[in-house]
Amino acid sequence: ACSEFSQRSCEECLKNVSCLWCYTNNTCIDYPVRSILPPSSLCSLSNARWGVCWINFEALIIAIAVVAGLILVSIAVCCCYCCYCRRRSR
């Protein structure tokens, strides 16, 4: 079904969340669900778009990793701070 949107536009292709847009050859392909990341033989990460057209897959992965890392660090800092406050109050 995704191949029907090939040679059209990225926006039309990505209306369906199961589709992946590749800018190298302007094709709309089914997202490979069995692998987390699309293989480079299908489309390079810098040319692949999923979800939104304005950010490539590579940058999307980096952004998600940075946000997840910040959340984990903030949770660790909060836990350490709470443990320190409890020790100090005793």
| Secondary structure E strands in 48-90 | 48-49
Per-residue pLDDT of the chain (90 residues; tens, 9 = 90+): 888 888 889 999 999 889 999 998 889 999 887 888 888 888 888 999 988 899 988 898 899 999 999 999 999 999 988 888 767 665
Residue-number span of the structural domain to which 9 is assigned: 2-89
Are the C-beta atoms of residues 8 and 28 closer than 8 Å to each other? yes
What is the value of pTM for the model shown? 0.72
Domain count, the chain: 1
Backbone angles phi, psi at 79, to 5 degrees: -65, -45
Helix (H) or strand (E) run with residue 35 in it: none
Cα separation, 54 vs 41, in Å, equals 22
